[in-house]
Chains A and B, each alone.
Chain A
C-alpha cells in the first residue's frame, strides 16, 4: 500500500507538471509570439496551403533516415516521423540488464548482516544460508575511502547448476555494496568479486524487507538470493 501511494503521488506530480506546462504555454501567448517573432526566414509564410499540402504528400514515405538538419517542415516531421527512428531493437532482441552474465547458480536463502555501521568491526559481516545448496560467510570487511568499496574475506561453499561445488576458503575479495532503508524496511545489494576469478563473483540481493526496530549495529535477517556468475562490465 505504501509503495502504491508513493507511486501515485509521483504520478500526480508528473501530471500536474504537464498540466501546468500546458496551461502556461497557452495562457502566455507571448511565448509563441516570441517563437514566431524570431522567424526571420518567412519559411512557412511564403508557402501557400496548396503548396504545403503538395509537399506533405510528396513526403508520404517515412524519411526518418534521411540525413538532414533540424526538423524541416514541422507537419511533415510529425506525420512522417522524419525525426523519429525505427523502433528500438532492444525488446525485439531480448536485451536484458542483469548484474551477472554467464550465471552459474541462483540460490534462495536467508541473509544475516551483523552490522551496517561502517565504523563497527562487524561492518558487513554477512552470512548467507542456502540450506543444502550452500552457505557463505563474509568477514573482516575493510572499507576504502568510499565506503561502498573495500575488501572482505569469503568462506563457504556453493553448489553450482552443473552440480559442482565451489569452495571459498578465506578468499580475499573486493566488494561493492549498497544499503537503504525507510522506517523498518531495509534493502541491500552486495557484490563480491574474486579479482583472480571474476566469473565466480558472488551477488547477494536483499529485497525490501520489514525488520524489527533495530539500530545499525544490530543484526538483521531476511530472505534473499545469492547468485554466482560474471558481472556485466567485467
Chain B
C-alpha cells in the first residue's frame, strides 16, 4: 500500500511541477499582458499614483494585448512623468521612475507604432549602471527626471561595476551631474576631487545619481572613481583633436595624465572588463558560438597557523602550534554562457581530526571551517553542472561529487566561506544543511520573481554504488525544501524543511556534541526530520545581523527510539571596518544539543547533562584583491554539552590566497 502511494506521489509531484513550469513558460511567451505580470501591476500602480483619468482595462484586471497596453502607457505617460517630476525625490519616486523607464523600454516596439513618439521632452533614464558617458552635445543641467542614454548600436557596453565588487544598489538611477559639489560622497579635500570637478564642470562628462551621489552616502571607492574617470577619458578623447573649439587645454591634459597614473590599476581592470563585455556583447549580437566553451582556472589556497588550549577534559588539552593548508583548484566551463560545469580538486594536510583528535581536544566542536585531511593527496572534491531552463526561471544542479544540501539550498549565512568567513565549522552555517555527509545529488532552484525562491535538493551518500543507489538507497540520503524570501532590500529570510534517512541514526554534521550528532547513538535505521529558519538583516551598510535556528528529530524505524536536538546562532558582521574590504565577525550560539521533549529525555539513547555555547571573533584583513589575512579565535564552553568539561580555545591566523 505504501509503495503504491509512494509510486503514485512521485510522478504526481513531477507532473504538477512540470505542468506549472510549462504553464509559466507559455504564459511569458504570449503576446498579451496579464494581470499578474509585473508590467501590468506596475502600470496600474503608476496610473493610480499619477491619477491619470482614463478608462482602461487594467482597473478590472482584464487581459490586454501588448498594443492596447502600450496605448494606455502612451496616453498616461505625460501625466506619470509630470507626477514623478513634481514628487519628492524619495525611494517611492525613484521606484516609480524606474518602473516607467522599464515600461518604456519593454514596450518600445509597440510605442513606436503609436502616433506619439516615446522620446518625450522628459525622457527617463533606464541604465542603472553608473557612471555612463554623456555626449557633450547632450549635456544639460541636472533634472529631477533622469536623462535617457541613447542605446547606440556601436556604443561601448556599460561598465559592470558589480563584478568589481562595487555594490551599488541597482535601484539607483542616474542623472547627469554638471557640478561636482553635487557628488556628495567625494571628499572635497582630495586632489582627485579637484581634478574631477574640473573635468565635470568643463566637459560635463560624468553622470551621477539624481540625489547627487554616486551611491547613497558612502565614500566613493577607487573603482567607482576610476569608472567615472574612465568615462571622462573616453569623452575627452573625442575632444582632444587639435584645432577644434572644444579641445581640452593643457592643464586638463596634465590633470588627466596624473589621474590616469594614480588610477592606472583600476583603469586597467576596467579596460579588461570592457573588453570582456564587448566580446560577450559581440557574441550576443552575432550569435557566434566560436567563443564557447570558455574554460578558466581559478583557485584558493589557505595557509593557517593555529593553536588550541583548554580542555583536559575533553581530550588531553595538549595542543601544539600547527601550520596547515587547504588548496583548491577549480576549472569552470561554460558552453552557452548561462551554464556552468565546475570541477574542483582539493588537497589539505590537517592530520586526522585536527584539534578535535582524541589526543588533543577530542571533540567535534574544535573543528575549523577550512580543515580538510587528504594527507596532501589531490582529490576530486566537487563536480557539478548547473543550467537554467524554463526561460531562466529554474536552475537545475546535478552534482555527482561533493554534494551537500547547501549545494542548492542557500544557507543564508554571512560567514559561510571557509576562506574568508567563519573560522569554526559550526560558525559557517546552520548544521542542518550538513546533514547526511552526502556526496552525490541534484536539485533545482525555482526563481519566483525578484523576491522569492523555492529550492529543492536531494542527495545520497553512496550514490555511486550500484548496490546502494542514488535514489532512496540503503545508505544515508536526504532531501530538502527551502523557501527564500527577500521582503526588503536589507532582509533575507529562509525557511527549510529537510527529510533524511540514516542507516544508523547519525546526522554526521560534525558540528556539536558527538551524542547529539549521533542521535544518542541509538544506532538504528532512522528517519530524520529537520526544520531550519535563517535571517540576515543589513541594519546599515556597516552592520549586518544574522541568525539561524535548527530543530532536528531522529526517529528509529524499528523501535520507539528517538532523539531531538536544536542549535542556534546569532552574529554581527561589520563590513569595511577600519578599511574597505575588511570584515569583523562576532558570533554567539549553541552547537547541536539534545533537548527535552515533554516529559521525556531528549533521547532514547545516550543523553546530555550540560549546555555548551560557542563564541567566536575574527577579523578579516584585506591585503589586496587576492590576499586576505584573518586572525580569529573561538571558544566553546562545556564541549559536548558535558558539565564537567573545561572550556576549549582555538585560535588561528588564516591567510587566504585567491587567484
Which A residues fall within an 8 A CB radius of B? 2-3, 5-12, 14-19, 21-23, 25-26, 29, 31-33, 35-48, 50-51, 53-62, 64-72, 74-75, 77-81, 83-95, 97-99, 101-102, 146, 148-149, 176-182, 185-187, 189, 191, 198, 205, 207-208, 230-234
Partner of A51, one of B5, B42, B129: B129
Once the chains bind, are B429 and A85 in contact (CB under 8 Å)? yes
Once the chains bind, are B372 and A89 in contact (CB under 8 Å)? yes
Which B residues from 447 to 461 make CB contacts under 8 A with A? 447-454, 456, 461
Query: B322-366 toward A: CB 8 Å interface, digit per residue (1/0)?
Result: 000010101010100111101010101010010001110011100
Of B136-144, B177-185, B381-389, the segment with at least 4 beta carbons within 8 Å of chain A is B381-389
- Assembly CA distance A1 to B225 (angstroms): 69
Determine if B605 is an interface residue (Cβ-Cβ < 8 Å): yes
Once the chains bind, are A10 and B499 in contact (CB under 8 Å)? yes
* A14 closest partner in B (C-beta): B499
Determine if B127 is an interface residue (Cβ-Cβ < 8 Å): yes
Chain B residues with CB under 8 Å of A51's CB are 127-129, 158
- Assembly CA distance A2 to B420 (angstroms): 48
Task: Report which residue of A36, A71, A87, A179 has the largest number of chain B beta carbons within 10 angstroms of its beta carbon.
Answer: A87
Return B570 CB to nearest CB of chain A, in Å.
17
Once the chains bind, are B362 and A3 in contact (CB under 8 Å)? no
- Assembly CA distance A122 to B439 (angstroms): 46
Determine if B492 is an interface residue (Cβ-Cβ < 8 Å): yes
Once the chains bind, are A88 and B453 in contact (CB under 8 Å)? no
Return B502 CB to nearest CB of chain A, in Å.
11
**A-B residue pairs in contact (CB < 8 Å), sample of 16:** A22-B454, A25-B454, A48-B105, A58-B277, A65-B420, A65-B658, A81-B342, A86-B328, A87-B401, A89-B371, A177-B606, A178-B605, A187-B523, A189-B521, A233-B363, A234-B642
Once the chains bind, are B524 and A208 in contact (CB under 8 Å)? yes
Determine if B9 is an interface residue (Cβ-Cβ < 8 Å): yes
Of B47-55, B215-223, B244-252, B511-519, the segment with at least 4 beta carbons within 8 Å of chain A is B511-519
Known: A26-B16, A47-B128, A74-B450. 5 other contacts (CB 8 A): A7-B501, A15-B6, A41-B171, A65-B421, A75-B395
Chain B: residues with Cβ within 8 Å of the partner, total of: 175
Chain A residues with CB under 8 Å of B486's CB are 35, 70-71
- Assembly CA distance A231 to B644 (angstroms): 14
Once the chains bind, are A39 and B451 in contact (CB under 8 Å)? yes
Determine if B152 is an interface residue (Cβ-Cβ < 8 Å): no
Determine if B556 is an interface residue (Cβ-Cβ < 8 Å): yes
Q: Given A95-B510, A97-B508, A233-B640, do A85 and B418 touch, yes or no (CB 8 Å)?
A: yes
Return A44 CB to nearest CB of chain B, in Å.
4
* B273 closest partner in A (C-beta): A58
Partner of B348, one of A10, A14, A93: A93
* B404 closest partner in A (C-beta): A88
Which B residues from 483 to 516 make CB contacts under 8 A with A? 483-490, 492, 497, 499, 501, 506-508, 510, 513-515
- Assembly CA distance A42 to B102 (angstroms): 9
Chain A residues with CB under 8 Å of B601's CB are 146, 148, 178
Once the chains bind, are B2 and A9 in contact (CB under 8 Å)? yes
Once the chains bind, are A19 and B338 in contact (CB under 8 Å)? no
Chain A residues with CB under 8 Å of B350's CB are 93
Return B527 CB to nearest CB of chain A, in Å.
4
Once the chains bind, are A179 and B38 in contact (CB under 8 Å)? no
- Rank and list the top 4 A-B pairs by shortest CB-CB distance, nearest first: A233-B640, A87-B402, A42-B98, A180-B561
Once the chains bind, are B3 and A78 in contact (CB under 8 Å)? no
- Assembly CA distance A63 to B454 (angstroms): 21
Partner of B334, one of A35, A44, A60: A60
- Assembly CA distance A41 to B481 (angstroms): 27
Determine if B75 is an interface residue (Cβ-Cβ < 8 Å): no
* B365 closest partner in A (C-beta): A233
- Assembly CA distance A22 to B171 (angstroms): 31
Q: Given A57-B337, A62-B342, A74-B447, do A22 and B410 touch, yes or no (CB 8 Å)?
A: no
Chain B residues with CB under 8 Å of A90's CB are 434, 437, 508, 510
- Assembly CA distance A93 to B368 (angstroms): 13
Chain A residues with CB under 8 Å of B448's CB are 25, 32, 35
Once the chains bind, are B523 and A207 in contact (CB under 8 Å)? yes
Once the chains bind, are B481 and A17 in contact (CB under 8 Å)? yes
* B445 closest partner in A (C-beta): A78
- Assembly CA distance A37 to B95 (angstroms): 12
* B23 closest partner in A (C-beta): A26
